[in-house]
Amino acid sequence: MTWERTFILVKPDGVKRGLIGEVLKRYERAGLQVMAAKLVSCHAEQAEKHYEEHKGKDFFPSLVDLLTSGPSLAVALEGANAIEVVRKINGDTEPRTAAPGTIRGDFTHMGYGRSKELSGTIYNVVHASDSKESAVRELDIWFDKKDFVDSYDTILKGFV
Ligand code: IDP
Ligand code: MG
């Protein structure tokens, strides 16, 4: 099945900088559909669960601090190969080397060295699921069943 649902988070650095519109615009203009969206001020427990694969790494505590420092926008997106396409739109993890035209390449330029001089984590505006399994897991952490719209007009599926 190529039709996928994925999870993205505009992290607190993106929300504080007023980038919600800029970020969502890029997914929408690529034809991805917003199926659920909400602002969430998460607690440490939820942030740790979300990033559990990184537990034990040196940047983990500062990553949890970032996620609990203010509201994030949680979004569920759907489209053909949505997981891969959204990560392409986001760009590489390190904004310093992320390609121009990607969210991370266009809205910040932080490198790993600079992140060490500051909080310890890279501020890169957005998160996106990296596999079908992580999408299911992360959507379950951030959303309830009732948060989703049932379905979009299927006409759109002919265009994307
Ligand atoms: P991703 O967000 O591109 O999937 P991951 O490796 O899953 O990247 O890392 C999760 C988040 O942790 C990154 O988006 C970034 O904010 C932070 N991070 C990852 N690696 C490092 C690092 O080496 N130093 C500082 N922060 C990092
Ligand atoms: Mg990741």
Render pLDDT for 105-127 as a digit per residue (tens, 0 to 9): 999 999 999 999 999 999 999 99
pLDDT value at residue 160: 63
Question: Are 119 and 63 in contact, with CB atoms under 8 Å apart?
Answer: no
Burial of 34 (0-12, 13-18, 19+ CB in 10 A): middle
Top CATH class, 3-143: alpha beta
Ligand 1, residues at Cβ distance < 6 Å: 54, 59, 63, 93, 112, 115, 121-122, 124, 127, 130
Q: Give the number of whichever ligand sits closest to the CA of residue 62.
A: 1
What atom in ligand 1 is closest to the CA of residue 130? 4
List pLDDT tens digits, range 60-103.
999 999 999 999 999 999 999 999 999 999 999 999 999 999 99
Residue extents of the structural domains in the chain: 3-143
- The token duo for 13 is 């650095």
Exposure b/e, 50-89, CB count within 10 A at least 16 = b: bbeeeeeeebbebbbebbbbebbbbbbbbbeebbebbbeb
Predicted model pTM = 0.95
Q: What is the Cα Rg of the chain in Å?
A: 15
127 has catalytic annotation: yes
Q: How far is the CA of 98 from the centre of ligand 2 (A)?
A: 15
Marked catalytic residue, from 43, 50, 54, 127: 127
